[in-house]
Amino acid sequence: MALPVEEWRLCTARRWAALEPALRERLATASLHDMLRLGCGLLRPEAEAAALRRLCRRVRAGKDPAAARFYREEGNRLFGRRHYGAAARLYSQAAALWSPQAASHELPGSPEVSVCFANRSAALFHLGRFEVCLEDIARAESHGYPDRLLPKVLLRKAECLLCLGRLQDAADALSVVENKIAMDGIMTSPTHQTLLKKLSQLKIKIHEKESCPEPAQEACGDIQRKLEIWEENDSISGASSSLSLNFDRERGRHLVAAQDILPGQSLLKEEAFVSVLCPGESRLLQDSSETVWDTRATNADLYCHRCLRQLLASVPCRGCSYAKYCSQNCADVAWEQYHRTECSLGALLLTLGVFCHVALRTVLLAGFAEVSRLVEWSHDGDKDLHNAEARCKHLSEAPDTRAGTRGIPGCNDDGQYQSSYQAVFNLLPHAEKHSPEHKFLCMLSVVAICKQLQEAGLEAAVLNRESSEKWSKPKACEKTSGELSPELKTMAEAMLRHVLQLQCNAQAITVMQESGSGDGAVVDKKPVRLATAFFPVLSLLNHSCCPNISVSFSGTAATVRASQPIASGQEIFHCYGPHRCRTRVAERQQLLSQYFFECRCQACLDELESDVKSVVSMRNSFCCPSCRAPMQGEDMLCCSNEACAISVSRESLSRRLRDLQQQIKKALELLRDRKADQAIKMLLKCQMDAGKFLSPEHLLMGEMEDHLAQVYATLGKWQEAARHLERSIEIVEMHHGPSSVEIGHELFKLAQILFNGFAVSEALSTIQRAEEILSVHCGPQSTQIQELQEMKTCLLELPRSILQRT
Ligand SMILES: [Zn+2]
Ligand SMILES: [Zn+2]
Ligand SMILES: [Zn+2]
Ligand SMILES: [Zn+2]
């Protein structure tokens, strides 16, 4: 999803192959500036641009009343079956698909949208989310909710206020309903009768609560919060003073410990300069004739388009169906900063992939003035090629450490490195290392975006020159073809630079997302890629396959913590993906080639030197179907037991592995349909099969144990669940190490299971272990640590009788 869709990649590849060899040669060696100027005209309106338009038609990014109706009805259906969470989500999808009232731009939304909000408020009420329910009721009212339906919603408002203990407000809301009913005249229909009955019941409830108020809840401000050691660095924004920025020719810019660092110590807290939510797969339809609407939730349904906060009751954009926000404020800020330009480009941006989208948003956030200043500056650098080199040399040879960070690329004149557009601009685009075809694809994609901006009359908005009012429709440009303006060319050049930078500098923002139905007592979470972002300070960290830090995210902010002791003078290393615990050295080197370097970390050096087969490959390998000894070889695998001498093709075992994964998937679907017994049977059969050809330490063996634990937990069979999870933990530990964040998450699950099964002493010791590991990786204030502490408090307060029983 980072790169454009395959059809567009093929289309540009064909164009590249058909170019004159001389032009190809010139493009291959041109600077970004010259490349763009040479290539602008190569996006032919009747050929490439038309093909791209066809591809965009497959993407649904605009309003669609038919789809809206479908989602609302689906929501009603699930509401009827009491799946309130899923119903709320479908109402959100419906709300985003209705077009706002065309007649008036003053009144936001439409009665249809208001019905979605009102229905959603009912679902939220059943979920016990009273505050959000009230917000939705207010939204329904302000979007022109039909008058005759109002009493029901107002009663819900009173009920919500009652549940929140706001008795006076509840009573006030009730009298509003009463007045309304009185004004509307006598009501005789059955629905009105139920309403009246409900009204009198509520009145009684309020009266009861008033006469015997509940004891005030004691404020729970007793949570011990360890104070984190934090002293901000003078010259690197967001970094701790225990780090320093160094530069040499071999390693480039990098961060080093300026003093001894303890595990768990915060090293960096950085807000993303720019981030773009990664859309879900189902946004891209395979076939434009497809009329089946997908009800599966995508990232766009679950997280705020701007701040990445989890959505419960989203606020839809008025112009498109793909941007949903956590609040009106986020919607307004996003509109001001970038979405007024992006809104109508949804289908194009989804087709061209997240990297292009990040590149566009980066220049929009920076603003034209700053972009053009730095683009100009980079041209000066191009003219004097030796300039940069001379500067490097000077720095690497500089004996005076007090020269500090002054002159390091990306630092300002005071030698400060800040999370700014200047820092983003100075990340290396490695323009000379990308393949010419790839650069051509990126160039045509960027030009396509700029052309569409020009055609849609958005150029003024891009250049921050729009003075007209907020919601006014941009006027379409008169001349729809032709050259890009010089200003747009400058923006395009910067965007091209950013797309190329992203290959090495894109940072994924991941979150732990609940998987499965989410209604179990044990929450199973998996890491999910949520967004792609530029973090200019985090980008200073070099890669190692055995990193000494851990990164966690909250919204669009990243926190880096030491995952082990780091001695003063040691370099701080981040893992870009291939970790020594999970991937073989050859595969790691292959994966890292996209970053244009050969990893020389300790793990790689050790493994490349020794002839011994990597431990990882042994763990994730096949075993002999006959005697279960490890299998060896490449395409043809032979049993390592000489007496056995069985040989099988790797392909046939791989096929068996894929079949097994399919079966496991089916078992999980059974679990989702609440057929736990069948799911167990199927998983046990999978385990049997797997034992015949997978090594006992294979990660999949652990995954099956993990799934079994999950099924038993849904049945309340805590002991069985714990037993299976413990086996899964053993395997996870072999792959990721005993103090890895993965083990932390597994222990967290085990703690929940033991807690539910009242296995008090085991639960307490597991909580302790999980706390120690997770506080290093996620910090003492993470939600998981808080949940663990709540469990502990609860267990320690259990009556003695229960404690003795265990
Ligand atoms: Zn938000
Ligand atoms: Zn929009
Ligand atoms: Zn390495
Ligand atoms: Zn054998």
What is the number of the ligand closest to the CA of 640? 4
**For residue 72, which of 43, 45, 95 has the smallest C-alpha distance?**
95
CA of 602 to the centre of ligand 3 (A): 7
Do the beta carbons of residue 762 and residue 776 sit within 8 Å? no
Do the beta carbons of residue 225 and residue 781 sit within 8 Å? yes
CA of 555 to the centre of ligand 1 (A): 9
Burial class for 430, CB neighbours closer than 10 Å (0-12, 13-18, 19+): middle
Do the beta carbons of residue 125 and residue 135 sit within 8 Å? no
Summarize pLDDT for 15-35 with one digit per residue, the tens.
999 999 999 999 999 999 999
Q: Is the pLDDT of residue 386 over 90?
A: no
Do the beta carbons of residue 748 and residue 769 sit within 8 Å? no
Per-residue model confidence (pLDDT) at position 478: 46
Which protein residues have a CB closer than 5 Å to ligand 2 (ion)? 317, 319-320, 323, 343
Q: What does the alpha-carbon distance between residue 27 and residue 39 come to, in Å, rounded to a whole number?
A: 8
CA of 241 to the centre of ligand 3 (A): 27
Do the beta carbons of residue 113 and residue 91 sit within 8 Å? no
Please identify which residue in the block is written with the tokens 């110590």.
Answer: 265
CA of 631 to the centre of ligand 4 (A): 8
Summarize pLDDT for 584-604 with one digit per residue, the tens.
788 888 888 888 888 888 888
Q: CB atoms < 10 A from the CB of 615, how many?
A: 15
pTM, to two decimals: 0.83
Per-residue model confidence (pLDDT) at position 88: 93
CA of 309 to the centre of ligand 1 (A): 6
CA of 284 to the centre of ligand 1 (A): 24
Q: What does the alpha-carbon distance between residue 362 and residue 412 come to, in Å, rounded to a whole number?
A: 19
Tell me what the mean pLDDT of segment 640-664 comes to.
89
Summarize pLDDT for 545-569 with one digit per residue, the tens.
889 999 999 999 999 999 999 999 9
Burial class for 663, CB neighbours closer than 10 Å (0-12, 13-18, 19+): middle
CA of 588 to the centre of ligand 3 (A): 7
Per-residue model confidence (pLDDT) at position 528: 85
CA of 431 to the centre of ligand 3 (A): 24
Strand partners, 649: 636
Q: What does the alpha-carbon distance between residue 732 and residue 738 come to, in Å, rounded to a whole number?
A: 9
Strand partners, 237: none
Q: CA-CA-CA-CA torsion for 184, 190, 196, 202, nearest 10 degrees?
A: -140
Give the residue with greater pLDDT, 620 vs 695: 695
Summarize pLDDT for 788-800 with one digit per residue, the tens.
999 999 888 876 6
Please identify which residue in the block is written with the tokens 């839809």.
Answer: 316
CA of 545 to the centre of ligand 3 (A): 4
Q: What does the alpha-carbon distance between residue 181 and residue 176 come to, in Å, rounded to a whole number?
A: 9
**pLDDT tier at 537 (50, 70, 90 boundaries)?**
very high
CA of 98 to the centre of ligand 2 (A): 12
What is the number of the ligand closest to the CA of 99? 2
Residue 717 has which token pair?
A: 């069979």
Per-residue model confidence (pLDDT) at position 11: 93
CA of 45 to the centre of ligand 2 (A): 26
Provide the edge-to-edge strand list for the sheet that holds 266-271: 266-271, 557-562, 549-554
Burial class for 804, CB neighbours closer than 10 Å (0-12, 13-18, 19+): exposed
Residue 364 has which token pair?
A: 């929009």
Please identify which residue in the block is written with the tokens 């009493």.
Answer: 151
Chain-centre distance for alpha carbon 700: 25
CA of 321 to the centre of ligand 2 (A): 7
CA of 754 to the centre of ligand 3 (A): 38
Residue 233 has which token pair?
A: 């660095």
At residue 60, the 3 state secondary structure works out as: coil
CA of 523 to the centre of ligand 1 (A): 24
What is the number of the ligand closest to the CA of 579? 3
Per-residue model confidence (pLDDT) at position 518: 46
Give the residue with greater pLDDT, 452 vs 187: 452
Q: Is the pLDDT of residue 245 over 70?
A: yes
Give, in order, the Cα–Cα distances in Å from 665 to each of 428, 499, 668: 42, 36, 5
Q: What does the alpha-carbon distance between residue 59 and residue 54 come to, in Å, rounded to a whole number?
A: 10
CA of 649 to the centre of ligand 4 (A): 14
CA of 781 to the centre of ligand 1 (A): 21
Q: What does the alpha-carbon distance between residue 332 and residue 488 come to, in Å, rounded to a whole number?
A: 25
Q: Which long-range contacts (CB under 8 A, 24 or more apart) does 797-800 make?
A: 798/758, 798/760
Instruction: Please name the residue ranges forming H helices in 506-635.
Output: 585-592, 602-609, 615-619
**2-25 burial string, b = 16+ CB within 10 Å, else e?**
bbbbeebbebbeebbeeeeeeebe
What is the number of the ligand closest to the CA of 547? 3
Do the beta carbons of residue 350 and residue 322 sit within 8 Å? yes
Q: What does the alpha-carbon distance between residue 296 and residue 310 come to, in Å, rounded to a whole number?
A: 16
Per-residue model confidence (pLDDT) at position 219: 43
CA of 533 to the centre of ligand 2 (A): 20
Per-residue model confidence (pLDDT) at position 806: 47
Q: What does the alpha-carbon distance between residue 412 and residue 407 come to, in Å, rounded to a whole number?
A: 8
CA of 343 to the centre of ligand 2 (A): 4
Tell me what the mean pLDDT of segment 658-687 comes to.
91
Q: Is the pLDDT of residue 762 over 80?
A: yes
Instruction: Please name the residue ranges forming H helices in 143-166.
Output: 150-163
Q: What is the mean pLDDT of the chain?
A: 84
CA of 176 to the centre of ligand 4 (A): 81
155's CB contacts (< 8 A; 6+ apart) are: 174, 177, 195, 198, 199, 202
Residue 428 has which token pair?
A: 């290396």
Per-residue model confidence (pLDDT) at position 477: 47
**pLDDT tier at 426 (50, 70, 90 boundaries)?**
very high
**pLDDT tier at 384 (50, 70, 90 boundaries)?**
low
CA neighbours closer than 13 Å in the CB half-sphere of residue 572: 35
Give the residue with greater pLDDT, 569 vs 391: 569
What is the number of the ligand closest to the CA of 316? 2
CA of 579 to the centre of ligand 3 (A): 8
Q: Is the pLDDT of residue 693 over 60?
A: yes
Among 175-189, 254-268, 325-339, which stretch is predicted with the lowest mean pLDDT? 175-189
Q: What does the alpha-carbon distance between residue 568 and residue 785 come to, in Å, rounded to a whole number?
A: 29
- Identity of residue 30: A
Among 38-42, 57-61, 385-389, which stretch is predicted with the lowest mean pLDDT? 385-389
CA of 793 to the centre of ligand 3 (A): 43
CA of 531 to the centre of ligand 1 (A): 14
Tell me what the mean pLDDT of segment 113-123 comes to.
93
For 251-313, the three-class secondary structure string (H helix, E strand, C coil) is: CEEEEEECCCECCCCEEEEEECCEEEECCCHHHECCCCCCCCCCCCCCHHHHECCCCCCECCC
Give the residue with greater pLDDT, 218 vs 341: 341
**pLDDT tier at 634 (50, 70, 90 boundaries)?**
confident
**pLDDT tier at 389 (50, 70, 90 boundaries)?**
very low
What is the number of the ligand closest to the CA of 555? 1
- Provide φ and ψ at 315, rounded to 5°: -105, 115
CA of 597 to the centre of ligand 3 (A): 10
Please identify which residue in the block is written with the tokens 């929140």.
Answer: 164
CA of 310 to the centre of ligand 1 (A): 8
Q: CB atoms < 10 A from the CB of 463, how many?
A: 19
What percent of the chain lies above the pLDDT cut of 90?
Answer: 47
Which protein residues have a CB closer than 5 Å to ligand 4 (ion)? 624, 626-627, 629, 639, 641, 644, 646
CA of 130 to the centre of ligand 1 (A): 19
Among 333-347, 395-409, 619-633, 721-735, which stretch is predicted with the lowest mean pLDDT? 395-409
Per-residue model confidence (pLDDT) at position 199: 77
Do the beta carbons of residue 59 and residue 284 sit within 8 Å? yes
Summarize pLDDT for 248-301 with one digit per residue, the tens.
888 889 999 999 999 989 999 999 999 999 987 654 444 444 556 777 788 888
- Provide φ and ψ at 574, rounded to 5°: -110, 150
**pLDDT tier at 152 (50, 70, 90 boundaries)?**
confident
CA of 534 to the centre of ligand 1 (A): 18
**pLDDT tier at 399 (50, 70, 90 boundaries)?**
very low
CA of 318 to the centre of ligand 2 (A): 6
Summarize pLDDT for 319-328 with one digit per residue, the tens.
999 999 999 9
CA of 226 to the centre of ligand 3 (A): 34
Q: What does the alpha-carbon distance between residue 562 and residue 240 come to, in Å, rounded to a whole number?
A: 11
**775-794 burial string, b = 16+ CB within 10 Å, else e?**
bbbbbbebebbebbbebbee
CA of 331 to the centre of ligand 1 (A): 7
CA of 573 to the centre of ligand 3 (A): 11
Tell me what the mean pLDDT of segment 366-374 comes to.
94
279's CB contacts (< 8 A; 6+ apart) are: 1, 298, 299, 300, 322, 350, 354
Among 123-137, 197-211, 222-236, 687-701, which stretch is predicted with the lowest mean pLDDT? 222-236
Q: Is the pLDDT of residue 525 over 50?
A: yes
**For residue 806, which of 747, 770, 761 has the smallest C-alpha distance?**
761
**For residue 759, which of 720, 701, 727 has the smallest C-alpha distance?**
720
